[in-house]
Structure 1
Amino acid sequence: MSTLYLVGTPIGNLEDMTFRAVRIMQEVDIIACEDTRVTGKLTHHYNIKTPLKSYHEHNKDRMTEVLVAMLKEGKSIALVSDAGLPLISDPGYELVNAVRDVGLTVITVPGPNAALTALMTSGLSSYSFLFNGFLPRKESEKYAKLNELMQQPHSILLYESPYRIKDTLMTIAKVDAERKVALARELTKRYEQVVTAPVNDLLTRLENDIPLKGEFVIVIDGQYEVKNVEQWWDALTINDHVNHYIAEGQSSKDAIKQVSVDRNMKKRDVYNSFHIQD
């Protein structure tokens, strides 16, 4: 019977491939993957001869129809990502829904996951956690999202590139400079590194003790008790607060929006304070 298999693959060390995953990838008719070059290294290592087809963010709409048609013809397909579990911060749920809509079978073949691997080794609480994948790139939106997440009594799991890790740690420090954070890089590989410390300490160790190489997982300790955290802008008036963001290059509209988020105020009230003079 034709089946869509969701197959977990190694996040670094190729020896983390399961016997079942190898067998399924050998038995299916097609392996749908993000990058055929990346998955090709894995299939070559395990002598898997199954043809590869690209399935990624930019072609998922067209390829979902193609793959569903193949399944309806009686073929079976394995969906994999470049590393770890498919669908986790990667496209694929649309394909799962489309396959189920036509009455065909979806089976999961579990495997490694970078976020959970980092949480396991971080030393931070693992009883409850929130996974948020990648943060917004725009600074004001990133700050707003982190400010929201870091008020929660759960560990926060994030992905970040080596090119943005420093900026993201600086934004975390704006929310709470003393919050304990774990940085995990090169997980399961030869130079695996997991460092847990207050975020300000991590910032001083970047580039020297912590090379900016490899994809990062960030684990942020939850806020488990209510506390009054002193904010950098507490001594500023609302107008000075807005002008601070304008001086950084934001438009007055964006600066007012950010101040409303910082101070948990209505945007209209910040606008009126800034624009209406006595």
Structure 2
Amino acid sequence: MQPDETGTDETTSETSPPPGKGPGLTLVATPIGNLGDLAPRALAVLRAADVVLCEDTRVTAPMLARHGVSVSLLPLHEHNEDAATPKLVARMAGGQRLALVSDAGTPLMSDPGYRLVRAAIAEGITVSAVPGPNASVMALTLSGLPPHPHLFHGFLPPRDAARAAELARFRAMERAGLSATLIFYEAPHRLGDTLAGMAEVLGPERPAAVARELTKRFEEVRRGTLAELAAHYATHQARGEIVLLVGPPGEDVPEAEASLDDRLRAALAGGESLRDAAALVAAATGLPRKQVYARALEMKSEQG
């Protein structure tokens, strides 16, 4: 049974009023492709809102019009969120009901809104949500890869060097003990290069999946090793919205007999600071952090 699963249609709480019923901010998940996935409760909240905040009015307005919703729209995106947040918090403090949507899926997941949510919480303003579509979770369930634990990262850096450095950081964490399915978003024109980079850094035989156009007419989930997927997308241009998933490393990482020094070297090779590398390895091995950090200092002294 899920939390608060009582068998009734609604669950009330003295501290958390139903989404959209009073002043405050409601995060509303919107379709990731199929417009039929907009939930009835999401529609009710959007209709009742004084203002709907959205990334792009050209995307949100047609969606709302299709469902007969007429409401004021205000853009909220990465370029104006800092400047807009104080004014929006003031409006909610004055009694207005605001709803926040992204262009597709669940707000804040690789989309704007985090700074506004933090500011609203700091001011004691009610923040609630209407759950719904999420591309990363849907892709995970369809991938055939272990669903838990998983780590959602979002978009990798677009430039090759920065992307390789970020992937090396993940590899270092895996060598230090991380074992999880990794989830990324990627632009279609970068997919082939990203897969090739992943095969080089994370290992060509790692199981992986590419999910694209989820909930749409041409929905596709392609599964294989990183090497196989890289080869495919090197000659086949991908289209649409893409989720890229990489399965956890095999039993050889971390090696069962890997020494403390080996783990520290791997973590440091991923670009971690001495202190962060020690914390990472301590968490993976269960050793006291002070002990691991002391050994890291010794290794640095020996190298010097």
State TM-score, norm by structure 2.
0.73
Confirm or deny that 1:181 pairs with 2:202. Answer: no
How far apart in 2 are the matches of 1:224 and 1:201?
Answer: 17
Q: 2:84 aligns with which of 49, 57, 63?
A: 63
Residue matched to 2:179? 153
Deviations 1:111-156 (A, max 9, x none): 1111111000000000210011111223222122223324231000
**Of the candidates 36, 54, 58, which is equivalent to residue 57 of structure 2?**
36
- Cα contact 1:183–1:219 (8 A) shared by 2: yes
- The answer as to 2:245 corresponding to 1:219 is yes
Corresponding position: 1:125 with 2:151: no
Report the counterpart of residue 106 of structure 1 in structure 2: 127
User: Secondary structure of 1:163's partner?
Assistant: helix
Deviations 1:49-80 (A, max 9, x none): 01110000001012112211211221100001
Matches of residues 190-269 of structure 1 in structure 2 within 5 Å?
190-206=217-233, 211-227=237-253, 261=269
After TM superposition, give the deviation of residue 203 of structure 1 in Å.
2.2
> Is 1:92 the counterpart of 2:118 in the alignment?
no
CA distance in 1, matches of 2:129, 2:111: 15
Whether the aligned pair in 2 keeps the contact of 1:28 and 1:78 (CA below 8 Å) is yes
Unaligned ranges ≥5, structure 1: 230-259, 267-278
Q: Please give the secondary structure, in 2, of the residue aligned with 1:67.
A: helix
- CA spacing shift, 1:228–1:107, aligned 2, 3 Å: closer
- Compared with structure 1, are the counterparts of its residues 227 and 97 closer, same or farther at alpha carbon in structure 2 (3 Å cutoff)? closer
Contact map agreement 1:31 1:79 (CA 8 A) in 2:
yes
CA offset at residue 160 of structure 1? Answer: 0.3
Give the 3-state SS of the residue equivalent to 1:47 in structure 2.
coil
Point out the more displaced range, 183-192 or 218-227: 218-227
Question: Partners in 2 of 1:227 and 1:51 — Cα distance?
Answer: 53
The CA distance in 1 between the partners of 2:271 and 2:205, in whole Å, is 20
Could you give the per-residue CA deviations for residues 235-267 of structure 1, whole angstroms, max 9, x where no partner exists?
Answer: xxxxxxxxxxxxxxxxxxxxxxxxx84799x9x
In the alignment, is the contact (CA less than 8 A) between 1:144 and 1:261 conserved in 2? Answer: no
Q: CA–CA distance in 2 between the matches of 1:146 and 1:153?
A: 14
Structure 1 distance, partners of 2:271, 2:45, is 53
**Partner SS state of residue 15, structure 1:** helix
In 1, Cα distance between equivalents of 2:85 and 2:246: 36
Contact 1:3 1:105 in 2 (8 A): yes
Equivalent residue, structure 2, for 1:13: 34
Contact 2:23 2:96 (C-alpha < 8 Å) held by counterparts: yes
Q: 1:263 to 1:13 in 2, by over 3 A?
A: closer
Counterpart residue type for residue 197 of structure 1: G
Q: Percent identity?
A: 41
Structure 1 CA distance for aligned equivalents of residues 145 and 206 of structure 2: 11
CA distance in 1, matches of 2:84, 2:194: 34
Alignment of 1:72-91 (within 5 A): 72-91=93-112
The Cα of 1:188 is off from its aligned counterpart by 0.5
Structure 2: tracts of 5 or more residues without a match: 1-21, 256-267, 275-304
Q: What residue identity is the alignment partner of 2:138?
A: T
Instruction: Give the corresponding residue for 1:243.
Output: none
Q: What is the Cα deviation at residue 228 of structure 1?
A: 8.9
